[in-house]
Amino acid sequence: MKIISYNVNGIRAALKKGFLEWLQQANPDVIRIQETKAHKEQLDLSLFEDAGYPFHYWYSAEKKGYSSVAILSKIEPNHVAYGTGIDYMDFEGRNIRVDFDDVSIMSLYLPSGTNDARLDYKFQYMADFQEYINELKKVIPNLIICGDYNICHQEIDIHNPKGLKNTSGFLPAERKWIGEFIDNGFIDSFRYFNSEPDQYSWWSYRANARNNNKGWRLDYAMVSEPLKDRLKRAVILQEAKHSDHCPIVVEID
């Protein structure tokens, strides 16, 4: 199974940049999308069906043009879970999960900490999400959580670790949380296969950051430990340019 995760920073904008043509070439079995910034009523859903994804599920923020996640699949899932059941999370449309016979796949969009209030919100979200996942794993041990975590884990994951150490996304407490999240039963699938530096999934639109590869690795495919022996490949697709993020891939048997 080939799984892609992609923060598209607005699905309608991405469509105008050739997203569907790219999707057909990439040809994943399942793609998880973050920051659709759209309600499905604002989209021509037949475009995704014609591209080979008859099963598509959208979970949008109450506020239009904000946040929101989706999953497109070639395979019909047994069950779709919209949100987490935690109201303040679900108001912003940040979690959707599809359950297949032997694996469940989540699209996650963790908040960013753009100011003090949002940083407090982010830490509350991370704490409650960890508890939610702890309970979920008891029922669904074969779990893949892909998406934009809005955190760089290690110095290797950011272009200027010393200069950005006091910036949200690379704060010590954020890095500690994602490290503990991994230690609590997950594999950072990209780092499982790749230990090279300069491998990023997001670049600022400012100062020609992408062309200079001044980036951050904010997007992860976290694979639960029981799936370790089924991991085949994990890569970052930096050549895809429909967003300020790029897609990531994980493949499992």
Helix pair angle (116-139, 172-183), 10° resolution: 0
Q: Which two tokens stand for residue 178?
A: 């994602």
**Residue 145: closest CA among 24, 48, 246, 227:** 227
Strand ranges (E), the chain: 2-7, 30-34, 55-59, 69-73, 79-82, 95-99, 104-109, 143-148, 186-188, 202-203, 215-216, 219-224, 231-236, 248-252
Contact status, residue 200 vs residue 212, Cβ threshold 8 Å: no
Q: In a 3-state reduction of DSSP, which class is residue 142? A: coil
Alpha-carbon gap, residue 221 to 71, rounded angstroms: 14
Residues 90, 99, 148, 157: which is the catalytic one? Answer: 148
Residue 174's alpha-carbon distances to 112, 135, 192, 243, in angstroms, are 11, 22, 21, 24
- Catalytic annotation present for 244: no
User: Which run of H or of E encompasses 43?
Assistant: none
> Could you give the residue numbers annotated as active site?
148
